Structure 1
Amino acid sequence: MSIGIGTRSLLLTQSLVGMRSQMADLQRQFATGKRSDDYAGIGLNRGLTVSLRSQLAATASYGDTITNLNVRIDLAESVLSRIGEIGMETKNSVAEMTSEEGRINAQGSAKSALGEMLGLLNSRAGDRYIFSGLAADTPSVESLDMIMDGDAAHAGFSQIVSERLQADMGSSGLGRLVISSPAPGSVSIAEDVAGSVFGFKLNAISSTLSGSTVSGPAATPPAAPEMSIDLGGVNPASGEKVSFTFDLPDGSKETITLTATTTVPPGAGEFAIGQDSATTATNLQTKLQSSIGTLARTSLTAASALAAADNFFNTDAANPPQRVDGPPFDTATGLVAGTASNTVMWYTGEAGSQPARSTAAARIDQSITVNYGLRANEEGIRWQLQNVAALAAISMAPGDADSEARASAMASRLRTALDVPQGTQSTADIRTELAGAQKSIDSAKQRHQYTNATLSDFLEGIEGISNEEVAAKMLALQTSLEASMQTTARLFQMSILNYM
């Protein structure tokens, strides 16, 4: 029969159980690569471990922010780049407006280009409209049809252009100028109303006509500005000239130069020398009136469309769109602010006074915040929109005798405008500002990657294990465990026969 082994066997059994527990823990460490499943098992370094994990979580959070920021900024840069390209494509298309077909194609392309730009400006990154400033949940711009044509209650851009053109042309079609002969042998040209913002504005007059004297432009309030030429009772010689320079609503200047001639009939830009100075002055007045009418239907019309574009698109919270204070429009003298109840507000995002970039900010490091906000009504974006829209809206109807010259006047202005004059913000300027933010983001990303690697290595040194060390311990423990099990087995098999 078997006999008990008493206290010794109990100790061996407890030792065996302890070694099996150690083996199970070593197997867990080998499988998970972690020293312990909880902080208690880490010992004195548990506080440091909590701190390291907190820092790693913060770094990961910054990393997620940086990923989202890069998506938004990359999308914004692609939109801005495309808008700049559209401006250049439009600039190139106006070179084709020398023919009727070219003008039709250029205007059709301009309207399509405007629609594409508006679609781009309503781009979203996730649930955010990126060109709406603080109103990230609101579309940035109205639709193409609404902007151009409005509705029954709201004037669209086409109506603004029409009203402005009526105001700039005036009822006589002479660009709000009045041409007269105050005395035999003299010709006077004056603005129709003092203080009017519309039509031609007198800039200068000069003459090489023998015996002539010029005066102005000058005004004695409340009279409107006036300038004149008096032939002085002397007929000019053939080839002598008189020039009239005017300021136009878009800020450009135009000069009409008329040359005295004995040729009958006189050619373009010429006036006939009569039998006396009074007759010559009458011929000069007639030619000047005809030339101003032509200039009004061509260059002034182009300038008016561009001025209307600035009135309509150059808006923010403090500057609503401007409209002609009418009807009647052809005798109006000033502009009035459009309202949300009677005029299309093309930009529908937030339009506050704070800088656009500051309307969206994100913390990318413990001490670094980057600003990356955008508004569709920023000058660099709006400038492209208003110039392309002006081309789409101006009238160049087939069969209009002035269409080619009007197109030429528009083309010359758009080539300058779409090159973005010095001092005017461009889409490239906005992209440069975003690039500065992206540089900060990339630098922070590199720092976070380095920090993450350093902290992870440190944490691994505390929480982690050496597979080789654990394997060696497991092998040694397995040997001890096998020996203990064999000894225990022999003890439990002992009987009285072992003592005889």
Structure 2
Amino acid sequence: MIVNKSMFPLQAGFGVISKMNSQFALLQTQLGTGNKAQTLAQMGKDLPVSLSARSRLTQIEGYMGNVEQANLRLSFYNNALTRMDKMEGEARNSAVQGQYGSNNINMATLPGLSKARFDELVTMLNADVNGRYLYGGNKTDTLPLKPTEELLNGVGGRAGYATVVTERRAADLGQSGYGRLTADIDVLTPGTVTFAEDGAHPFGMKLSTVSQVGGRVVIDTSAQNADPAALAFTFDDANLPRAGESITLGFTLPDGSETQITLRASEEDTGTKGEFTIGEDAATTAANFQTALLEKIQIAAEGELMGASTFAAAENFFNAAGEPVVRVAGSDPYTATSLRVATPSDTVQWYNGETAAVSASNLGRLGVSSSGGNSVTVKGLEPSSFAHGFRITAASAQSSQFPPTATLPTVTQTAGPPSSLSVQFSQLPTAGDKVTFTLTEPSGKEREVTLEAVTGRAGPGQFTIGTVTAAGDAIANTTANFEQAITRSLSTTAALAEGNPRQAVSAAVEDNGRVNYGMQANEVGYLRMIRSFAALSIETYPEAAGAEDPNSIDLNPARARFDALASRQASQLSEARNSERGSIEMVTMELGVAQSNLLAATQRHTSYKAQLENLLGEAEAVNKEDIAMQLLALQTRLQASYQATAMVSQLSLVNFL
């Protein structure tokens, strides 16, 4: 009998062992790495799931990075805003009307404290996080504000705030020191005092109201609303004022605030400011009234007017969004009659960040007025600036009837500068008649505004056709309704053009979600603090420093200036302004909403990331316990196969026999 190995196929056995060895090596690798495959080609049907999950995880990591970065910046904002809110309270408490301190210490220390606050505020607004300036909108690579000394005192021949204040005060005070007001008596009418503004200009004290107790003085108010305004006080020999009777005059100051003075008749000269002596005749009484009036005006000019002028200069220099930097025009500010737009070559431009060219607060630098009871005028504010506000570039009226009826208002548009629009109603419009005008932004973008005449209640973009009422005739009421409607439309259009500073910077935190947290240092909350601190820092009180008697009446002008500035700072930083758009409190609330959105996005990403990691684990990872059991089973099979193969390989006739 012949015995050979052909009955035992060793080659097939070796192939099986080789496959088991390969499988054993793969299981060892999986056990060591915890992954099913080492290359994409080895993943098989799990490849699409793995690629999709990993792509999504990469996106989530990117979003989480954006969230982390935004949270860092928001934490900086929160710290800064908390400090600013505290500074507002400190500033209000440091300057209170009538509280001058022992030996006028409050007056002596206030300028230094205010400058320190101003410097701290500028430093905070110029702070950067990781090389990025946060208070300049999307302009993050340059300082939003100039340094403190440059802002206050200028640099390189360019005027700072102190120079602008000096010019503005001179323009408001005038050469005579009476706030650009005059009180004259004509020799031909010695019993009449003519009290008037010295010209048509934006400076000084503007007459607003007049009243009297007693009624014995004839007051001519025919020119009270003219420009310049004037009043005439006529005294009658037969009906002179009696002791205790008074005349009160109201004035509008350069910063828009109001003040008043009262002159009271007296039978004898007591030396009291604000009193005029009743003379033997009208001429003497008029002369006494003139003297008392000018004395009282001078007191108001040295106190209230100077405070108002300082804050008006702050508005001129520290311009808001949609406004240019302006200063007094001409070589002699005492006789100035207009403001001019300052240039970067002659005046420090305090803010360098992103800003809107149009602002809703000033209707896009347009003023609305009515005249004659049937005409409404929209006109650009002066001084004109092509870089700020709207220009009216087209206007027309469209009839609801065909052919057009004669009820359409007359629309007149002028290019300017300043540009203007006049709408005159000679007849009642027909329902459906429209007035359309085009507003052009400095960038060239055009916005069309249409106002349609309707009967009944008017909605957005509409005005009500008036009817005869006790308040006036139908055309006058229509004109008034149109004025209100055009003011609303201008405000809405300007708000759209202005945009939201928060949207200047945003972070993508989800596929369809962004969190806006931009900030601009010329927002109203920061601006009120900047203006107030600057105004109080440049005002000094040398009278108080050199006074031997801390209660001397010679200190009254200094105390009046202190009171005027203190009251204005208290008003600017009042808690009553917390609800204003752009206030420190409103900005804090908006950032709180942004932080809430970031937290919600973080929670969603964390949950989704966990789900994706579980899915990825199922697609890519192995169960090490299962792999270990497979390894043990395969090892046993391999050992058995090796032994069987070894035994077969040793078969021979000799061994068989």
Fold in common (TM above 0.5)? yes
Higher strand share: 2
Matches of 1:487 and 1:166, distance apart in 2? 116
Post-superposition offset of 1:163: 0.4
Deviations 1:113-154 (A, max 9, x none): 111111111122223211112321111110001000002420
For residue 72 of structure 1, what is the aligned residue in structure 2? 73
| Cα pair 1:248 1:303 within 8 Å, conserved | yes
Q: Residues 67-466 of structure 1: matches in 2 within 5 Å?
A: 67-95=68-96, 98-99=100-101, 100-182=104-186, 183-193=189-199, 195-209=200-214, 211-216=216-221, 218=223, 224-233=228-237, 234-316=239-321, 319-353=323-357, 355=499, 356-397=501-542, 398-399=545-546, 401=555, 402-419=557-574, 421=577, 423=580, 425-466=582-623
DSSP-derived class of the 1:257 partner: strand
DSSP-derived class of the 1:184 partner: coil
Post-superposition offset of 1:450: 1.8
Matches of 2:166 and 2:201, distance apart in 1? 18
Higher helix share: 1
| Cα pair 1:132 1:374 within 8 Å, conserved | yes
DSSP-derived class of the 1:330 partner: helix
Give the letter for the 1:253 counterpart.
E
DSSP-derived class of the 1:175 partner: coil
Give the letter for the 1:187 counterpart.
V
| Cα pair 1:164 1:304 within 8 Å, conserved | yes
Matches of 2:522 and 2:215, distance apart in 1? 54
Between 23-32 and 302-311, report the one with greater CA deviation: 23-32
State the percentage of identical aligned residues. 33
Choose between structure 1 and 2 for higher RCO, CA contacts under 8 A separated by at least 6 residues: 1
Give the letter for the 1:377 counterpart.
N
Matches of 1:304 and 1:143, distance apart in 2? 24
| Cα pair 1:139 1:349 within 8 Å, conserved | yes
Deviations 1:365-415 (A, max 9, x none): 212233322221122222221121111122322347211121011111211
Matches of 2:215 and 2:281, distance apart in 1? 13
For residue 464 of structure 2, what is the aligned residue in structure 1? none
- Could you say if the C-alpha distance between residues 210 and 133 of structure 1 is closer, same or farther in structure 2, counting changes exceeding 3 Å? closer
Matches of 1:407 and 1:57, distance apart in 2? 62
Give the letter for the 2:118 counterpart.
L
- Could you say if the C-alpha distance between residues 4 and 386 of structure 1 is closer, same or farther in structure 2, counting changes exceeding 3 Å? farther
Matches of 2:141 and 2:5, distance apart in 1? 82
Give the letter for the 2:161 counterpart.
F
DSSP-derived class of the 1:254 partner: strand
Post-superposition offset of 1:344: 0.2
Post-superposition offset of 1:264: 4.1
| Cα pair 1:122 1:131 within 8 Å, conserved | yes
For residue 56 of structure 1, what is the aligned residue in structure 2? 57
DSSP-derived class of the 2:37 partner: coil
TM-score w.r.t. length of structure 2: 0.71
Matches of 1:244 and 1:207, distance apart in 2? 9
DSSP-derived class of the 1:376 partner: coil
Post-superposition offset of 1:339: 0.3
Deviations 1:186-232 (A, max 9, x none): 33311011x210000001121124522222272697x7311132232
DSSP-derived class of the 1:314 partner: coil
Give the letter for the 1:366 counterpart.
D
| Cα pair 1:213 1:230 within 8 Å, conserved | yes
DSSP-derived class of the 1:95 partner: coil
| Cα pair 2:111 2:540 within 8 Å, conserved | no
| Cα pair 1:311 1:322 within 8 Å, conserved | yes
Matches of 1:270 and 1:148, distance apart in 2? 41
DSSP-derived class of the 1:218 partner: coil
Matches of 2:15 and 2:533, distance apart in 1? 90
| Cα pair 2:320 2:523 within 8 Å, conserved | no
Deviations 1:320-358 (A, max 9, x none): 200000220000011000000000001012334453223
Unpaired stretches in structure 2, ≥5 consecutive residues: 358-497, 547-553
TM-score w.r.t. length of structure 1: 0.92
Between 424-433 and 325-334, report the one with greater CA deviation: 424-433
- Could you say if the C-alpha distance between residues 92 and 56 of structure 1 is closer, same or farther in structure 2, counting changes exceeding 3 Å? same
Matches of 2:114 and 2:246, distance apart in 1? 40
Matches of 2:632 and 2:127, distance apart in 1? 63
Deviations 1:241-275 (A, max 9, x none): 11111110111111111222235424243222333
